[in-house]
Amino acid sequence: MRTDIFDTHAHYDNQAFDEDREALLTSLPENGITRVVNVGASMASCRDTAELMEKYDFIYGAMGVHPNETGELDEEGLEKLKGMCGLKKCVAVGEIGLDYYWDEPGRDVQKAWFVRQLNLARECRLPVVIHSRDAAKDTVDVMRAEKAGEIGGVIHCFSYTKETAKIFLDMGFYIGVGGVLTFKNARKLKEAVEYIPLERLVLETDCPYLAPVPNRGKRNSSLNLPYVAEALSQIKGISMEEVRQAVWENSMRLYRM
């Protein structure tokens, strides 16, 4: 049985790791974290992601601009993004989408660049990593209009109801879950995860954010993923080994490895 863990969504370029990045990343494989996708959120973080992909053989990358950073995008930026999507270890376009929690830049700007980056993924034949916060209806509307089901990918850090999960599942998307699954007040998420078939779930950290219990509130890293796997095994009523095997296979399918 496979015991390795695949972190499908991390931000190791984040300044929270500046003091011990190398030591931490070097320790991951010996702790069973043998594959990580570092996800771009801005043009600068995409460049940093490219450097991490080159330096560590177990780190892959997604290139994209987070909805709250789309104010920096222009045609030249999109062309640069396209170039980075052509890198050998780039496995997705992301993270892209809509974020109405922060609600900046304006919703029309967010939507426009969501559409453009979905089209970039289609052109580059890569799956997408979708960020959607307090924006379920508009996310679904854009994805339907752009036939995102033909592109495929993952809804990262899923935070909606099981009814919304069904819509994404019907489009063929995977659902990413992380530390929030261990929170006592995450009833809605737990109900959704109970409903979502095991073969459509992947594990992620979104580190340095959203560390699971018992490390909630601290800096997150891939080393915390066993806590999420444990929560998933309890919800699904299956062994940790079954969870690890399934989510590894799902992650490999998601990123077409």
Q: Is the pLDDT of residue 103 over 90?
A: no
Q: Is the pLDDT of residue 114 over 80?
A: yes
Measure the CA–CA gap between 78 and 80, rounded to whole angstroms. 5
Q: What is the pLDDT of residues 22-74, one digit of tens each?
A: 999 999 999 999 999 999 999 999 999 999 999 999 999 999 999 999 999 99
- What φ, ψ does residue 79 adopt, rounded to 5°? -65, -40
Q: What is the pLDDT of residues 198-220, one digit of tens each?
A: 999 999 999 999 999 999 999 99
CATH homologous superfamily for 5-254? Metal-dependent hydrolases (3.20.20.140)
Q: How many CB atoms lie within 10 A of CB 122?
A: 16
What global pTM score does this model have? 0.97
In the chain, where the domains are located: 5-254
Is residue 63 left, alpha or beta, with left meaning phi > 0 and alpha meaning psi from -120 to 50?
beta
Mean pLDDT of the chain: 97
Kind plus residue range of the DSSP H or E element containing 99: strand 90-99
